[in-house]
Amino acid sequence: MLQKQTIEELFSTLTRSEKAQLLQWVVRDLGDAFPGIESTPDVCGGEPCIVRTRIPVWLLVQAKSLGTTESDILRSYPTLRAEDLSNAWGYYRMHKEEIQQQIKQNEQA
């Protein structure tokens, strides 16, 4: 909490130009970040999952590729929101090979 307060205090002293530069650094640092998707080593073998759940992205992508509608997915997983699916599809677009490999590995298991 102390770090956050310190950052807020420093932020208020910056000029508009410095704030814009800081924002560009943050965006660049988070460029490969997907809100709502996280990979945690001790959860689902580190596979990317929807936050608040243990539902891996590959599972949702596989369900969709097999013809399951988004409505059916949301009904089957009541903890999911439509926003979660959008995040999963975005993650898949950027990490297609990784997700396809996870689908293959889980089909073989």
* Between residues 64 and 12, the one the model is more confident about: 64
Query: What pLDDT, on the 0 to 100 scale, is given for residue 30?
Result: 65
Q: What is the mean pLDDT of residues 39-68?
A: 94
Whether 89 has a pLDDT exceeding 70, the answer reads yes
Work out the burial of residue 74: count CB atoms within 10 Å of its CB; fewer than 13 is exposed, 13-18 middle, 19 or more buried.
Answer: middle
Whether 90 has a pLDDT exceeding 70, the answer reads yes
**pTM beyond cutoff 0.75:** no
* Between residues 106 and 26, the one the model is more confident about: 106
Q: What is the mean pLDDT of residues 64-85?
A: 95
Contact 73, 63 (CB under 8 A): yes
